[in-house]
Amino acid sequence: MIRITSLRLELNYQERPLAAVAAERLRIPASRVRSCVLAKRAVDARKKNDVHFIATIDVTLDKDEEDVVRRLRDDRVKQVAPAAPLTIPRVTPPQQRPVVIGSGPAGLFAALTLAKAGARPILLERGAAVEERMQAVARMRTEGILDPESNVQFGEGGAGTFSDGKLTTGIKDPRCRDVLMTFARAAKGTADDILWQAKPHLGTDRLIGILKELRREIVQYGGEIRFGAKVTDLIVRDGALCGLRVSAQDGEEELACDTAILAIGHSARDTMQMLVDRGVQAEQKPFAVGVRIEHPREMIDRSQYGKFASHKALSAADYKLSCRLQDGRGVYSFCMCPGGVVIAAASEEGGVCVNGMSEFARDAANSNSALLVGVSPADLEGDDPLAGVALQRRMEQAAFRLGGGAYRAPSQTVGDFLAHRQTTVFEEVVPSYLPGVTGADLHECLPSFVSASLAEALPVFGRQIGGFDRPDAVMTGVEARSSSPVRYVRDERGHSSVRGLIPCGEGAGYAGGIMSAAVDGIRCAQWAMEQWV
């Protein structure tokens, strides 16, 4: 197979078969091309008067591939071997079934890997199945409890990370390809684009069906899924896990278990506290907090694509911003949602927390992203491993009070934020958060170092993207759960200080998004399987 990289494609390249483009680059007749597959495609918008795609394509010829590559002497044309799929060896089914705690990306991929190996895992999900949640939301809308147009998440328990489905990652682990292939297969042909997008995105609307299919596969391979099952305690003897206490709909039970993958996500705070109370070694880690900021989607599109902003081949534009302030603290955008909305993400009574999401079409009026300020252990009070959780909780409770209750979020225009005055009127940029916002002064719910950092960074970002600091841009608070503030220590084989308990994914401090969490789920399953091969 020949891989061609850094291939320029015009925005309307679909009108010309890729095989013809490949043949031209390889300087061979098009008839010699047996197959041509788009492996990666990104938008190159560095020059606003020359926006185009940069692609990587994989080509197979009728013969003499090595000769063609040698003759060209082009570093952008290389002969490569097709990527080998992940091999999951069969294992001897353990006497005690392994347990996976949590069904976010880490938990789902850990359970699926174990199931395919024949280990018959039990997947515990403290929430209800997505179908039940959808029915409950529909009933609440009918009864007038929820606004009919409210953007309520249909995520499953620990799968809050799946609200938007961004699959971009900075890790280079070969398992990433298998994660993408699994998602594409589960989507049954509706998401093959993620296999070649430089910044793959599934969208909330496509994820619901994908989650159902992944659950079905786990069961098909011999796994079991228990909804409404919350782990309340560990049973430990001589430093090793021997069971779990589980609270379920029909009461409490003890589940015999000597291997459990802990994939609880970064918001199961009661479980986090239980683990620390039971002596599972944990430590503070850096994280970030801030707000969601919204701009008109068309403004962001123009700023990134110039005159090509309305081209039919281009989706809504994204951006990635960062700066280092004079005091050394970092401020950056995160989880950017082109053509998306700001959503409610609270998980505790009396607290307001926001997030962002986009459906696949990315055609909402606003584009939003998290605007985050780095928090280090030095910013926290004391050495409690959960001191970062305490900071998050204080911010969310302050946001709840500032929003006036009923889970309305405090919101402020950039102009008012920089002037330290309460917002009373929203202008062109209308906040998208539901159940609604309350004009406020966000300084009252943000730590002072966060407010000061945001105020210093906004003009910097305004020089990078014209209009980013426009006075009517909307900031909504608080975004406190971009990542976990705690890490559960694990050894070289993945085990925590309690043997048999394997911390996994973002909530355990070992991932930073869907892809890295899913990869860590596979990795932790492989560690668990070493004892049964």
The Cα 18–Cα 238 span in angstroms is 62
Which of the four pLDDT bands, split at 50, 70 and 90, describes residue 208? confident
Q: What is the mean pLDDT of residues 247-262?
A: 94
Neighbour-count burial for 33-62, b at 16+ CB within 10 Å, e otherwise: beebebebbebebeeeeebbbebbbbbebe
Tokens of residue 102, six digits: 């949590």
The Cα 64–Cα 72 span in angstroms is 13
Distances (CA, A) of 351 to 265, 461, 481: 18, 29, 12
Question: Which of 443, 464, 479 is the C-terminal boundary of a domain?
Answer: 479
Answer whether residue 201 is part of any domain: yes
The Cα 361–Cα 118 span in angstroms is 38
Same domain, residue pair 235 and 356: no
User: What does pLDDT average to over the chain?
Assistant: 92
Residue 146 has pLDDT above 70, yes or no: no
Least confident of 47-61, 130-144, 445-459: 130-144
Q: What is the mean pLDDT of residues 289-297?
A: 98
Q: What is the mean pLDDT of residues 465-489?
A: 96
The Cα 99–Cα 307 span in angstroms is 54
Residue 141 has pLDDT above 90, yes or no: no
Same domain, residue pair 29 and 42: yes
The Cα 399–Cα 438 span in angstroms is 10
Same domain, residue pair 247 and 264: yes
Q: Read off the pLDDT of residues 417-439 as tens digits, 9 standing for 90 and up.
A: 999 999 999 999 999 999 999 99
Strand (E) or helix (H) holding 21: helix 18-26
pLDDT of amino acid 83: 85
Same domain, residue pair 47 and 177: no
Same domain, residue pair 139 and 279: yes
Least confident of 12-21, 330-339, 407-416: 12-21
pLDDT of amino acid 52: 97
Strand (E) or helix (H) holding 3: strand 2-9
Tokens of residue 454, six digits: 């945001």
pLDDT of amino acid 205: 86
CATH for 246:
3.50.50.60
pLDDT of amino acid 135: 55
Q: Which of 282, 262, 271 is nearest to 232 (CA)?
A: 271
Give the β-pairing of 2-9 and 77-79.
antiparallel
Q: What is the mean pLDDT of residues 377-402?
A: 97
Answer whether residue 171 is part of any domain: yes
Question: Which of 47, 79, 111 is the C-terminal boundary of a domain?
Answer: 79
Tokens of residue 351, six digits: 């607290």
Residue 75 has pLDDT above 80, yes or no: yes
Same domain, residue pair 256 and 150: yes
Ranges 17-26, 247-256, 461-470, most confident: 461-470
The answer to whether 369 and 295 have CB atoms below 8 angstroms apart is no
The Cα 233–Cα 268 span in angstroms is 13
Same domain, residue pair 470 and 500: no
Answer whether residue 239 is part of any domain: yes
In which residue are the tokens 């970002």 written?
461
Task: State whether residue 140 is helix, strand or coil.
Answer: helix
The Cα 2–Cα 368 span in angstroms is 39
pLDDT of amino acid 143: 56
Answer whether residue 394 is part of any domain: yes
pLDDT of amino acid 446: 98
| Helix 175-186, helix 514-529: angle, nearest 10 | 110
Which of the four pLDDT bands, split at 50, 70 and 90, describes residue 160? very low
pLDDT of amino acid 156: 35
pLDDT of amino acid 149: 52
pLDDT of amino acid 151: 46
Tokens of residue 200, six digits: 């793959």
Least confident of 162-166, 201-205, 230-234: 162-166
Same domain, residue pair 453 and 514: no
The answer to whether 346 and 397 have CB atoms below 8 angstroms apart is no
Same domain, residue pair 33 and 170: no
pLDDT of amino acid 154: 38
Q: Which amino acid makes up residue 260?
A: A
The Cα 527–Cα 533 span in angstroms is 11
Residue 79 has pLDDT above 50, yes or no: yes
Which of the four pLDDT bands, split at 50, 70 and 90, describes residue 155? very low
Give the β-pairing of 99-101 and 122-125.
parallel
The residues, any chain, with a CB within 8 Å of residue 305's CB and separated by 6 or more, are: 43, 45, 48, 51, 311, 314, 317
**CB neighbours of residue 357 within 10 Å:** 25
Residue 163 has pLDDT above 90, yes or no: no
Answer whether residue 371 is part of any domain: yes
Residue 128 has pLDDT above 80, yes or no: no
pLDDT of amino acid 296: 98
Q: What is the mean pLDDT of residues 281-309?
A: 97
Domain that holds residue 31: 2-79
How many structural domains does the chain have?
A: 3
Same domain, residue pair 506 and 464: no
Q: Read off the pLDDT of residues 326-372 as tens digits, 9 standing for 90 and up.
A: 999 999 999 999 999 999 999 899 999 999 999 999 999 999 999 99
Please confirm whether the linkage preceding 435 is cis (ω < 30° from 0). Answer: yes
DSSP states along 220-268: HTT-EEEET-EEEEEEEETTEEEEEEEEETTEEEEEE-S-EEE---S--
Which of the four pLDDT bands, split at 50, 70 and 90, describes residue 153? very low
Which of the four pLDDT bands, split at 50, 70 and 90, describes residue 14? confident
pLDDT of amino acid 271: 95
Residue 494 has pLDDT above 90, yes or no: yes
Read off the pTM. 0.92
Same domain, residue pair 267 and 155: yes
Tokens of residue 338, six digits: 């082109």
Task: State whether residue 181 is helix, strand or coil.
Answer: helix
Cα Rg, the chain, nearest whole Å: 24
Which of the four pLDDT bands, split at 50, 70 and 90, describes residue 17? confident
Least confident of 37-46, 61-70, 123-132, 508-517: 123-132
Same domain, residue pair 209 and 222: yes
Residue 521 has pLDDT above 80, yes or no: yes
Q: What is the mean pLDDT of residues 127-152?
A: 54
The Cα 459–Cα 93 span in angstroms is 59
The Cα 106–Cα 507 span in angstroms is 9
pLDDT of amino acid 312: 93
Q: What share of the chain is helix, strand, coil (3-state, %, to 5)?
A: 30, 25, 40
pLDDT of amino acid 250: 87
